[in-house]
Structure formats: C-alpha cells, structure tokens
A = this chain, B = another copy of it.
C-alpha cells in the first residue's frame, strides 16, 4: 500500500477557519472566544472528497497520515489558552475526518506550543490525541516564535519531556514549522526548507539518539537542503568529530519525498 506520510487538512471547512479568525480577534480584544461551531459531517465530506480523497484515489494512495494545516498552527499567536484551544479543535476535526473514512486517514496532532512555554505543557494534548483519538504522531514546531528562532535546539534537554512521552506512546514526530512573522522569510518558500535543514544539523551535532534510541523524527519537504548537500553534511560530521551520519542520525530520522519536480525526487532517492 502507498502511504502518503505528509498530508495537511488544507481544505478545512469555512466554519472552522472562520472560528479561528474570531478566536484571534477575541484574544486581541481581551474577550472570550465565541463557541466553536457545529460542523455537519456533510461539510467535512465536501471538504475532503473533491480534494484529498480524490487525489488519493487517482494516485493510488491507500492511507494519508493527516494533520492540521501547518501554516495555521501559528504557535506565535495569542497565549497558552489560545494555542491549547486551537490545537484541540483542530485535532478533533482531524479525528472526524479519520472517522468518516475508516482506514484512509491516520491522524497526526498539532501541539499547543507557545514560545517560551515549556514543552511539558504540550504532552497532555499528545496523550489525548494518541490514546483517545487514535492518532499516530505529532507535528513538532522547532521554532514556535514564527521565524525568530528563539527556542533552544531540538537536542536541548528542555525538549526531552515531549520525546519521553512520544517514546512511551510509541509515536514519531514530524518536525514542522508554521507561519512566519519575520519579514526576511516566506513561509513555504524559505522558512519551511530552512527549518528542515536547521533541524537536521542540530540532530547531527548532538547525542539525542544515544539518549533516546527509540525516538523517531521525520524531516519533511525532502529534508530541506540536506540530500542536495549530502556531501557537506557528511564532511561536517567528520570535521566535528561526530559518528558517520548513517550511525548517528539515519536510524532515527526520516525524510519524506515532498519535492515538487522529478530531478529533486530522483536526488532524494539517490543521495
């Protein structure tokens, strides 16, 4: 079976995205957000059947690993209550999609990360999604600040509480940033790819997988710049006195093939 490991709910029903706008406006005005709307199953079906499910069928994809829209996670917006509620309703919507099409979608959750708030605070939502909603992983944002890169590297011990919960639940994380507020960067044109390259280099430099041998991380978008510059990273591992990449990183880190032209896909396979 072909599994698409990197699907986002980019076509979520209007009522869901409209509520998010209201939630943000309410936060800005120091008000409580309005109640989350009732979204009928038919609206969810309409949002999936003409897009994701149609493409899956056309392309022979049996199962899509499916998570909330990455750019809409916006961990830099609001506060912990805003992020927690937004993650909760976004994840619930993913669970409804998975429930409507048994066997076709496996859920991956958005975490309620907030810049400067310890990652421990995201563990409860991970547990809820895996244990109650049947999700198979989470998206982990290495830069919840939205392009200011104020968090410590992913190998810092402050991230370990999440990793330990992931190991206990036996689920991986996809390392995936969200929208960007730094005008230097374009979300999908540079920030996403930069984050992928940045994360890989962080993992190359430290002993995260010696500490946590069962931890599995997926780096999306074909690994950012990494496969194209494989010789650079192989060389850096040597220069920095690190073990060969095959030993130190590649047992725990996986790249997807989300690369949008054939020579790039060929390289990802070959490198």
Interface residues of A (CB under 8 A from B): 142-143, 147-149, 151-153, 182-186, 188-190, 193-194, 197-198, 200-202, 204-205, 221-222, 224-225, 227-236, 259-261, 263-264, 266-268, 270-271
Complex copy number for this chain = 2
Q: Is the CB–CB distance between A188 and B229 below 8 Å? A: no
Nearest B residue to A265, CB-CB: B231
Known: A182-B149, A186-B205, A261-B271. A228 touches B236 (CB 8 A): no
User: When the two chains form their complex, are residues B228 and A264 in contact, meaning their CB atoms are under 8 A apart?
Assistant: yes
B residues near A185, Cβ cutoff 8 Å = 149, 198, 201
Q: Which residues of B contact A200 (CB under 8 A)?
A: 190
| Residue numbers in B under 8 Å from A143 (CB-CB) | 184
B260→A235 contact, CB < 8 A: yes
Q: Most B CB atoms within 10 A — which of A142, A201, A221? A: A201
CA gap between A135 and B239 in the complex, in Å: 32
Asked if B236 and A229 make an inter-chain contact with CB atoms under 8 angstroms apart, the answer reads: no
Residue among A151, A183, A225 facing the most chain B CB atoms (10 A cut-off): A225
Inter-chain contact B230/A222, CB cutoff 8 Å = no
Name A229's contact: one of B142, B184, B193, B231 (CB within 8 Å). Answer: B193
Q: Nearest residue in B to A264 (C-beta to C-beta)? A: B228
Contact, CB under 8 Å: A189 / B152: no
Minimum distance in angstroms from A17 CB to a CB of chain B: 18
Q: Is the CB of B229 within 8 A of A259?
A: yes
Are A153 and B230 in contact, with the CB atoms below 8 A? no
Say which residue of B153, B190, B222 sits within 8 Å of A194 (CB atoms). Answer: B190
Chain B's nearest CB lies how many Å from the CB of A69?
15
